Structure 1
Amino acid sequence: MQDIAMFDIVIILITLFLGLKGLFKGFIKEVFGLLGIVGAIFIASRISLEVGNVVASVLNIENESTIKLLGFIISVIAIWFVIYSLGIIVSKIFSASGLGIFDRVLGFIFGAAKVFLIFSVIAYAINSIDSFKKSIDENFSNSIVMPHLISVGSYIMKIDTNSIKEQINEGTKEIQENVSTVIEGAKDEAVQMEQQASDFIKNRAAQEFEKELNRQKQQFEDELKSQKDRFDSVNNQNKED
């Protein structure tokens, strides 16, 4: 009982202590670290057997559980390294804009969660090996932390990919429908604006034509009146002579 209680205390203290790293590192780095862990576990749990078989052919390993465990560990490390490297790049890009106390608090939460996820997956992976499962059931039956570690690790490694794929497809379909609606609305609006512009141009052209016609008419009338006045003046002069 004392050993088990000590195990729980050690796990909690390590989780909190390493969570303090997140307090100092901030949210941006920690969130990429967490995404790296979850993403690595999610992918590695699906390709662990294939990777393990490649390694097993080199190391001459025949035990299937060992092959899967080894393939899982190698896959997690490789995938996590890629995502973590991406996080470093993004962190440098955003290094100039700090989030203050919120960045630190969220960094602590993400840091602690990341460590807890690591322990959860390790506990679940070890518990999945038959030779270790019996020992864990016997020695950790009174542990408070161990059942939670195994439960969380099991949930992460058994996420229904088909369900996620369906949700992604539904979301993509909805986005496409919304985009199509927006495009159709934009087309209708463009046609309406084009019609309005055409009507405006026609009306404006008609007004300009009418204005020019009136100007030409007035000019013609003025010229005609001027010619008439000149003709009358000549006639009057001839009569006087």
Structure 2
Amino acid sequence: MQSFTVFDIVIISITVLLGLKGLLRGFIKEIFGLVGIIGGIFVASRMAEEIGSLVAPLLALENSATIKLIGFIIGLVGFWAIIYILGIILSKIFSVSGLGFFDRILGFVFGSAKVFFIFSVIAYALYQVQSFKDLMNNKVSDSITFPLLVKTGGYIVKLDTSDIVKKVENSVSSEDKENQKEEKNSLSQEVSDTVKEIKEKAVESGNAVVDTVKKSVADEISESIQKETKEQIEQLQKEETDINTDNK
């Protein structure tokens, strides 16, 4: 039967005490501090050689390993310092805006959770060693927090980050496909509308040309008829004049 043991008291006490650090620092400083360390390692590990090459002439360094190490340290500390200063500025803004209380409460929760997760990973790792597993089963088998630590640590250790990344990539890919489909449909609609408009204009132009040709032909026929009629009348008048002249 599980009960509240000395082990539980120790774990909870350490978690709460270290969580008080988060209460004093605030949630924003805690988050920015963690981001500064993780981000600093990420940036420094990729730019250590470039940073080291910049400071090597100033420190008269020649060994490539030393240059890379110095570059890593400077990159890590520099990135962490920038992020930490940003965290302080943002924390001040929160305090002035009246949200400082919530910042500190969330800082306590975050700080306590961070410590608990660290204990969880340690407990799970030790529990995988048979000698430690037997010892823990004998000493803390009735503990309330120990099973929770092992379970939480197992979840963290077995967390498949590649699967998460794959899901995110699939989600982004699906969104891209949907956007491409919408763009394709939009383009097809625009092309269809353009073709339709061209057809309509072509028909209108054709009708206008036909009307113009018809009018031109009709005018020419009318003019030709009028001309022939006039010539016939003139011819008749001439013949009549000739007949009158002969009679006289």
CA deviation profile, 1:105-144 (whole Å, cap 9, x unmatched): 1111101100101111111111122221111112111111
Distance 2:142 2:123 in 1: 15
8 Å CA contact retained: 1:27, 1:103: yes
1:115 corresponds to 2:115: yes
- Describe how 1:130-169 pairs up with structure 2 within 5 A: 130-169=130-169
Which residues of structure 2 form unaligned runs of 5+? 40-72, 195-248
Cα 1:182–1:93 shift into 2, 3 Å: farther
How far the C-alpha of 1:34 sits from its partner, in A, is: 6.2
2:93 alignment partner in structure 1: 97
Cα 1:181–1:103 shift into 2, 3 Å: farther
TM-score w.r.t. length of structure 2: 0.49
Cα 1:127–1:12 shift into 2, 3 Å: same
Distance 1:114 1:133 in 2: 24
2:22 alignment partner in structure 1: 22
Distance 1:36 1:11 in 2: 27
Distance 2:108 2:130 in 1: 35
- Most deviating of 116-125 and 88-97: 88-97
How far the C-alpha of 1:184 sits from its partner, in A, is: 6.6
- Describe how 1:60-209 pairs up with structure 2 within 5 A: 87-98=83-94, 99-177=99-177, 179-180=179-180
Cα 1:172–1:113 shift into 2, 3 Å: same
Distance 1:186 1:27 in 2: 46
TM-score w.r.t. length of structure 1: 0.50
Distance 1:5 1:35 in 2: 35
Count of equivalent residues: 152
Cα 1:33–1:118 shift into 2, 3 Å: farther
- Describe how 1:202-241 pairs up with structure 2 within 5 A: none
How far the C-alpha of 1:148 sits from its partner, in A, is: 0.5
1:5 alignment partner in structure 2: 5
Question: What secondary structure, in the 3-state scheme, does the structure 2 residue paired with 1:104 have?
Answer: helix
How far the C-alpha of 1:91 sits from its partner, in A, is: 1.2
How far the C-alpha of 1:28 sits from its partner, in A, is: 1.4
Determine which structure has more spread, i.e. the larger CA radius of gyration.
2
Cα 1:16–1:187 shift into 2, 3 Å: farther
Deviating beyond 3 angstroms after TM superposition, the runs of 4 or more aligned structure 1 residues are 32-37, 81-87, 177-188
2:68 alignment partner in structure 1: none
CA deviation profile, 1:20-72 (whole Å, cap 9, x unmatched): 111111111223466689x79xxxxxxxxxxxxxxxxxxxxxxxxxxxxxxxx
Provide the aligned C-alpha RMSD in A: 3.9
CA deviation profile, 1:134-159 (whole Å, cap 9, x unmatched): 11112111111111111100100001
Question: What secondary structure, in the 3-state scheme, does the structure 2 residue paired with 1:159 have?
Answer: coil
Distance 1:93 1:178 in 2: 41
8 Å CA contact retained: 1:23, 1:104: yes
Cα 1:16–1:174 shift into 2, 3 Å: same
8 Å CA contact retained: 2:26, 2:91: no
Distance 1:187 1:144 in 2: 63
Distance 1:134 1:178 in 2: 55
